[in-house]
């Protein structure tokens, strides 16, 4: 900043009619007049502090207190829902065993798969699997396969979004291909991961790795949520608490989605972004990161359909993104296992994450191009005709039903 000499005509205190005495007037003494250099230099710190104040206020202005409030409410509802489902699962244990006939890992795989279709989300079903396990309704291995089924069913949501785009008049090939790519990548990695995970569970490889909430936090949570659960149980049958908890957890995830920042991609950014998209490991980390933030694979994969329709991404570019998303989608389920304070439940979720991570990293390191070609060839075959697509849709719904009947 350049200091300029003071002009008496520019000084409001020296102008007539301002209602103020000029400098050195009757009400000023010589002792009180500052030296000229200080009078000239003193505005610099004042201007600096004045500029810092708006910047400081601008930083706080950019903070969305509404979204922070939504996040806290969604977290509160998530913990409340988990406690309700945990209590209600004990009342549903005979129903799950006898009526739904979930008596082996294949049954629980199909049950979790169909359950995800019904609620159009995988996270609530995975949380339900943990509460059923905590109540003794299913075994540790059945919990593992039910959570796997929930993620395989949740991948249908991307295809469902594609169908909506087709109904809106968009290209069938473009709209459905992204959902089918998501399905094929998810099913392939999860089925191989299922074998690895069963081996890890049966041999207790990860049993020693645990994360606990701590006695103090458990006491605080019990103090807050136990009276609420008891109040609901006083007016509803025990099994109904599970249904109430499912409703609350769906609201919780909905609120969490609304508190996420808006993501937009400007046309001027397409060229720069596309250069990054062609790098598989960057897309792998991006998929993992977006899903970690959103805690919903439905959200992180669902955005691929509109991005594909607008030409921002291509199918071959998003395969690593889907792999990354399929690993960190277990973050919320891992948190639920910690809140249940059930070490074997935590081991189940950790095993899911590690088994899918091992499969994904192996593919990216050694067979990525072959896997990419095979996946895209399968998608092209399914979308080649309406008959092929119809056959695939029959398989999509008949496989989990058959698993339930095994």
- What pLDDT was estimated at residue 210? 80
Residue-wise DSSP of 41-92:
HTHHHHHHHHHHHHHHHHHHHHS-HHHHHHHHHHHHHHHHHHHHHHHHHHHH
Residues sharing a CB contact under 8 Å with residue 367, sequence separation 6 or more, in sequence order: none
* CA–centroid distance for 145 within its chain: 21
Q: What is the DSSP letter of 5?
A: P
Quote the CA–CA distance of 61 and 54 in Å, as a whole number.
10
- What pLDDT was estimated at residue 111? 95
What angle is formed at CA 92 by the lines to CA 249 and CA 140, rounded to 5 degrees?
Answer: 80
Q: Is the dihedral of CA 204, 208, 210, 215 positive or negative?
A: positive
Residue with tokens 């091992």: 358
Closest among 158, 184, 151, 189 to 380, alpha carbons compared: 184
Quote the CA–CA distance of 253 and 295 in Å, as a whole number.
9
Quote the CA–CA distance of 337 and 344 in Å, as a whole number.
9
- What pLDDT was estimated at residue 291? 85
Burial (CB count <10 Å: 0-12, 13-18, 19+), residue 160? middle
Specify whether the CB–CB gap between 83 and 225 falls below 8 A: yes
* CA–centroid distance for 373 within its chain: 29
The kind and range of the H/E element at 365 are none
- What pLDDT was estimated at residue 190? 96
Specify whether the CB–CB gap between 406 and 104 falls below 8 A: yes
> What is this structure's pTM?
0.75
Structure tokens at 332: 């919320």
Quote the CA–CA distance of 404 and 406 in Å, as a whole number.
6
For the chain (406 residues), the mean pLDDT of every run of 10, in chain order, is 45 44 42 47 50 52 74 86 86 79 92 90 90 93 96 85 69 75 92 96 90 66 87 90 88 75 48 62 88 73 64 76 92 90 92 96 95 93 88 93 92
Specify whether the CB–CB gap between 172 and 383 falls below 8 A: yes
């Amino acid at each position: 900043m350049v200091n300029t000499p003071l002009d008496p005509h520019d000084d409001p205190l020296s102008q007539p009619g301002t209602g103020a005495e000029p400098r050195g007037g009757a009400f000023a003494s010589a002792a009180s007049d500052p030296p000229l250099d200080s009078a000239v230099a003193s505005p610099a710190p004042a201007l600096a502090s004045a500029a810092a104040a708006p910047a400081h206020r601008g930083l706080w202005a950019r903070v969305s207190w509404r979204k922070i409030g939504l996040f806290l409410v969604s977290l509160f509802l998530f913990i409340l829902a988990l406690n309700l489902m945990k209590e209600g699962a004990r009342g549903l244990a005979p129903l799950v065993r006898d009526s739904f006939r979930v008596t082996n890992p294949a049954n629980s795989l199909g049950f979790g798969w169909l359950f995800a279709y019904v609620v159009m989300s995988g996270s609530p079903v995975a949380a339900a699997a943990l509460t059923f396990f905590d109540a003794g309704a299913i075994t540790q291995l059945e919990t593992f396969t039910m959570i796997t089924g929930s993620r395989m069913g949740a991948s249908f949501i991307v295809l469902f979004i594609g169908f909506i785009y087709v109904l809106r008049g968009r290209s069938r090939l473009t709209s459905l291909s992204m959902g089918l790519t998501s399905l094929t990548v998810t099913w392939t990695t999860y089925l191989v991961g299922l074998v690895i995970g069963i081996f890890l569970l049966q041999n207790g490889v990860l049993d020693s790795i645990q994360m606990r909430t701590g006695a103090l936090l458990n006491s605080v949570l019990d103090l807050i949520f136990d009276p609420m659960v008891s109040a609901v149980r006083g007016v509803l049958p025990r099994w109904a608490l599970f249904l109430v908890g499912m409703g609350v957890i769906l609201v919780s995830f909905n609120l969490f989605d609304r508190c996420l920042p808006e993501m937009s991609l400007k046309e001027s950014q397409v060229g720069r972004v596309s250069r990054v998209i062609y790098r598989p490991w960057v897309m792998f980390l991006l998929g993992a990161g977006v899903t970690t933030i959103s805690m919903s694979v439905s959200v992180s994969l669902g955005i691929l359909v509109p991005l594909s329709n607008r030409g921002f991404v291509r199918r071959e570019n998003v395969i690593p993104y889907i792999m990354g998303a399929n690993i960190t989608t277990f973050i919320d389920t891992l948190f639920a296992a910690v809140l249940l304070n059930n070490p074997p439940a935590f081991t189940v979720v950790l095993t899911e994450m590690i088994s899918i991570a091992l499969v994904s990293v192996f593919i990216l390191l050694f067979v990525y191009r072959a896997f990419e070609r095979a996946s895209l060839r399968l998608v092209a075959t399914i979308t080649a005709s309406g008959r092929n697509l119809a056959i695939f849709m029959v398989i999509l719904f008949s496989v989990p039903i058959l698993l339930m009947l095994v």
